[in-house]
Structure 1
Amino acid sequence: MSVREGNEKSKNMAEMSPPDGNRRAGRKGNKRSGTVADFRYKSSPPPETKSKERRARRDGASRNRNNGKAAEPASARAARSPRPMHKPHGGPRYRQAYAALDLGTNNCRLLIARPSGENFTVIDAFSRVVKLGEGLAHSGRLSDDAMDRALGALKVCSDKLRRRNVYLARSVATEACRRASNGEDFIQRVKDETGIVLDIITAEEEARLAVLGCHVLLEQGEGRAVIFDIGGGSTELVLIEPNGRGVPRILDWQSVPWGVVSLSDTVAKTDRGQEARLARYAEMRRVVGESFTPFAERVAQHAGQPDIRLLGTSGTVTTLASLHLELPQYDRRAVDGLIVPSQVMRDISLRLSAMSVDERCTLPCIGQDRAELVVAGCAILESIIDLWPAEKLGVADRGIREGILRSLMAGDFATARDRKAMDETRKAQ
């Protein structure tokens, strides 16, 4: 596919502008961190803190209304004049809770948030390693154990969605369900047992949502950029160009069926010494590099230009960033928005590829869950740096879920504006 064809195919992938600007003023971070993008979505304060703040504001307002006298107890006010229930389709949208659920090949993740100005405030989140795609590369099916693990996590998500009284939600499934011969049957089982309706999205939609969710963390610059998402069963690459404060324009994209799970399962495991481990890593690099070749050829004319940028959203890049910072345990606030020299990420990748599984298990921020899979992620990452040799790499601990939330909120706000405009037109007539 040519760049022109890629432009036409991807033209509609970034039409929806999220309700935030591109505020990326750099600031100094950890002495090993390079720079950090100063753009964070806010976390909701603890429930007890919020309750105290609400009581303080309510009591203060009551004293003002009563000329300084003590406020009437809330219970007495409620008994005398109960508050009407909030109607989902009425009132200001900032009161509503929105949810995004992403069931990937390796993880199940949920994010629940409310709009907050140009951004959103997270009120609940959930993440669990479910290994849904375990064994899929060989059998072509989701295993019973993998489906049971995923259902266990989805039941937790279902409970959170009910307790948070979510107004609007979108739940998506990606590569594992796209590839599995029993993927549709599993989707129906999820609906029957949890009430969650999963939408198996295309690779194109997955790439669009990843860009929408993390583009605000791109390093300052005018050059073109590649945003990538290393998943469990696939990797998406997207070539973009800046578009002022809005969503960048997508020029080209590609999805390959290699993620940390599918690549690990395909290239035979070995732990017979460092030489054998390095040979396996080289084979992973070869397999992924061949898959990236069509995209690499299409973007080659841009890859040699000055001021190119690179931004990654995945467990691979956040894990490697944590090792770079020498964090004793994972800290999203330190990692999300980090800018790291690409060569540093290469060096860490090579070091991990030579280590045994047991040695990787002892490293902070890796542990048992990632020890087996992180090497495949490193191979994919190095292949991406090969085709897009930016000097620095941006790290994003955000992606599809954030993209879904921004799409939901922006679409809902647009619908509300259109409805209001129609009502005003009717009144005028």
Structure 2
Amino acid sequence: MLSITKYAAIDIGSNAIRLLIANVIEQPGYPTLFRKNALVRVPIRLGEDVFINGEISEVNQGRMIDAMKAFRLLMNAHQVVKYRACATSAMRDASNGFAFAKAVKKETSIAIDIIDGVEEAAIIATTDLKTFIKEDRTYLYVDVGGGSTELTIYHMGKIVASKSFKIGTVRLLNDLVASEDWDLFKKWIVEHTLVYPHIDLIGSGGNINKVFKLSSKKPGKTLSFLYLTQLYKELNEMSYEERIVKLSLNPDRADVIIPAIRIYLQAMKTSKGKQIIVPKIGLSDGIIRRLYQVTS
């Protein structure tokens, strides 16, 4: 007999917060299916507070609580049976991050888990990512966020190395990434990819998903280093307003997309990878899978 339940994931990032509600479909004798039912994104950009001033401002605390109250109401309306809220770089680095998480729980009854980069990478690894990974190939997985970038090496279908770097789109926009940070980023990639003769990249995050959409390529196709380089040049030559009007980018995407491409290009150049796979998965998808694994 077919069974359908609803799970929710809240991803509290440095650029935006997202609510994903998914149908979990079970049928005896068949693999469990995970189908996206609703997705809401609110660009609060907590990282601009934290990376510049070290804490979340009162204004954005208020906006965040309003958003989380709305998320709670939406989860109730959808009859969500299980949820998890995870916060990454911005709340992790904020001096008032843990205190604010307590305030959110008091105001909205939503508990927030502030996770580190290692757990973030592990959660993402539970998604459909494995369907894109061939055991006879080596991959550098690059997940670019507003406050940090998570790098993971997959070899023979397994994770062999993983690290989080404080290089993100919001940090770059505010000139908060030092040359030493880039040096560590590149050094880690070289040290962990040098032994492999060929590297393919897998990219995740809202910006690379938007880049893939701009490319008009069919699902399953890859983006080349040459294409990303050319797009990076074209976007830099356009004004912020032109990116919004001509490319139909959201205002909160039109600025961060350029530093995001810069990060992906640096990862490709350093690893000598010539193409990047874009599976359109992320932390929210992994949270849903983890919830199912724990409760089933």
> Could you say whether these structures have the same fold, taking a TM-score greater than 0.5 normalized by the shorter chain as the test?
yes
- 1:212 Cα offset (Å): 2.2
What is the alpha-carbon distance in structure 1 between the residues aligned to residue 131 and residue 65 of structure 2? 33
CA distance in 1, matches of 2:201, 2:89: 23
1:102 to 11, 19, 36: 11
Q: 1:364 aligns with which of 243, 247, 257?
A: 247
Gaps of 5+ in 2: 26-30
Contact 1:341 1:393 (8 Å CA) reproduced:
yes
Offset of residue 103 of structure 1: 0.8
Which AA in structure 2 matches 1:293?
Answer: K
Figure out how many residues of one structure are paired with residues of the other and give that number.
291
Offset, 1:152: 2.2
Name structure 1 gaps, 5 residues minimum: 1-91, 244-248, 268-283, 327-333, 414-429
Which one of 124, 143, 148 corresponds to residue 210 of structure 1?
Answer: 124
RMSD, aligned α-carbons = 2.3
Q: 2:210 aligns with which of 319, 334, 342?
A: 319
Q: 1:298 and 2:191 equivalent?
A: yes
Q: Distance in 2 between matches of 1:123 and 1:361?
A: 27
1:386 aligns with 2:269: yes
SS at the partner of 2:34? strand
Deviations 1:245-286 (A, max 9, x none): xxxx1100111112111121125xxxxxxxxxxxxxxxx795
Query: 1:226–1:365: structure 2 CA closer, same or farther, 3 Å change rule?
Result: farther
SS in 2 for 1:320: helix
Rg comparison, structure with higher value: 1
Q: In 1, Cα distance between the equivalents of 2:131 and 2:60? A: 34
Rounded Cα–Cα distance in structure 2 between residues aligned with 1:216 and 1:292: 24
**1:119 to 2:33 alignment:** yes
Q: Is the 8 A contact 1:217 1:394 kept in 2?
A: no
The partner residue of 1:259 within 168, 172, 195 is: 168
Q: Which of 268, 272, 281 is the equivalent residue of 1:398? A: 281
More strand by share: 2
The structure 1 residue matched to 2:151, chosen from 237, 262, 279, is 237
Once the two structures are superposed, the pairs formed by residues 190-201 of structure 1 within 5 Å of their partners are 190-201=104-115
Tell me the CA shift for residue 221 of structure 1: 6.4
CA distance in 1, matches of 2:201, 2:48: 30
Cα shift at 1:396 = 2.9
Taking the aligned partners of 1:364 and 1:287, their CA distance within structure 2 comes to 34
Contact 1:98/1:113, CA 8 A, preserved across alignment: yes
Match of 1:141 among 47, 52, 55: 55
**Normalising by the residue count of structure 2, what TM-score does the alignment of the two structures yield?**
0.89
Aligned residue number for residue 350 of structure 1: 233
1:131 aligns with 2:131: no
Q: Per the alignment, do residues 209 and 176 of structure 1 end up closer, same or farther by CA in structure 2, a change over 3 Å counting?
A: same
- Code of the residue aligned with 1:256 in structure 2: it is F
CA distance in 2, matches of 1:406, 1:217: 14
Asked whether the equivalents of residues 349 and 375 of structure 1 are also in contact (C-alpha less than 8 Å), the reply is: yes
TM-score normalised to the size of structure 1? 0.63
Alpha-carbon distance in 1 for matches of 2:261, 2:283: 21
- Determine the C-alpha separation between the residues in 2 that align with 1:147 and 1:358: 28
Task: Give, in angstroms, the shift of residue 292 of structure 1.
Answer: 0.4
Match of 1:222 among 133, 136, 141: 136
* Amino acid paired to 1:258: I
Distance 1:350 1:286 in 2: 21
**Cα distance between partner residues in 2 of 1:264 and 1:107:** 15
Identity of aligned residues (%): 26
> Retained in 2: the 8 A contact 1:108–1:154?
no
Q: Which amino acid aligns with 1:193?
A: E
Cα deviation for residue 367 of structure 1 reads 3.4
